[in-house]
Amino acid sequence: MAAAGSRRVADGGGSGGTFQPYLDSLRHELQHRDPTLLSVVVALLAVLLTLVFWKFVRSRRSSQRAVLLVGLCDSGKTLLFVRLLTGLYRNTQTSITDSSAVYRVNNNRGNSLTLIDLPGHESLRLQFLERFKTSARAVVFVVDSAAFQREVKDVAEFLYQVLIDSMGLKNTPAFLIACNKQDIAMAKSAKLIQQQLEKELNTLRVTRSAAPSTLESSSTVPAQLGKKGKEFEFSQLPLKVEFLECSAKGGRGDTGPAGIQDVEKWLAKIA
């Protein structure tokens, strides 16, 4: 009887037998006050925990405080960036990389945002957008109002791309379409630009989805802007899109102030 009982216990022990030798060795070590294996395991766990904690903290801190300045080449993003930060006028060239700086919003809470100015050149814009879109709290799309008539197709194509990317994010950022270069006489108004962009994006929805699929086409269907069957309007989007007029250069060029009060107010609002 006792032999059968002990045999059954041994069998039960055998099923957990894979862990048995380790537990035995641990117990052995603890008994001998020589816990090398245990200490190594504990150290590894501690390191892992700190790494996870650190990454978590880092991502929390840097998330969602950035405002991206995007737009076509020569639309005035870098000058707008400079004006927002310092209020001065500077000569600018085509940007090759991004510039970022902390911007103190002038509302009573005194929040700070990180303004990031991305290059607008065709070869770079998508790469940089990819890099920074996850940390975007708001996107300012700068449009050259004077050259808009000529560039409407390119503007619409880039705007389409940015909208699609933003809609795919977890927290959709707030959108501002800043119609820059209003100091030039031939500049179009924000209303007109909005109408033209809506018309253009309406057509683009169809042509983009009809384009041949890419080489490594994923099974996900490309996102659809707005509602099918109805004319595209910005109000149909899940994002909040606003149109504002501004002039980064200002009425008197490098001597006078810039006409960017609306943009500053909008930034204060969303901060």
Using the contact rule CB under 8 A, the part of the chain among 34-42, 117-125, 230-238, 247-255 near another protein is 117-125
**CA 143/CA 160 separation, integer angstroms:** 14
Going by C-beta distance under 8 Å and a sequence separation of 6 or more, which residues neighbour residue 168?
223
Residue of the chain from 69, 71, 72, 95 that contacts another protein (CB under 8 A): 95
Contact status, residue 72 vs residue 158, Cβ threshold 8 Å: yes
Residues facing residue 100 across a β-bridge: 116
Instruction: Examine residue 153 and tell whether it contacts another protein (CB under 8 A).
Output: yes
Query: What is the residue whose two structure tokens read 């052995």?
Result: 28
Q: CB of 236: closest distance to another protein in angstroms?
A: 21
Nearer to another protein, 90 or 227 (CB): 90
| Sole binder of another protein in the list 43, 47, 126, 184 (CB under 8 A) | 126
Q: Does 98 bind another protein (CB under 8 A)?
A: yes
The answer to whether 199 contacts another protein (rule: CB under 8 A) is no
Q: Does residue 81 touch another protein according to CB under 8 A?
A: yes
| 51 makes contact with another protein (CB under 8 A) | no
User: Which spans of this chain sit near another protein (rule: CB under 8 A)?
Assistant: 78, 81-82, 85-86, 88, 90-102, 117, 119, 121-124, 126-127, 153-154, 157, 203-204, 206-208, 210-217
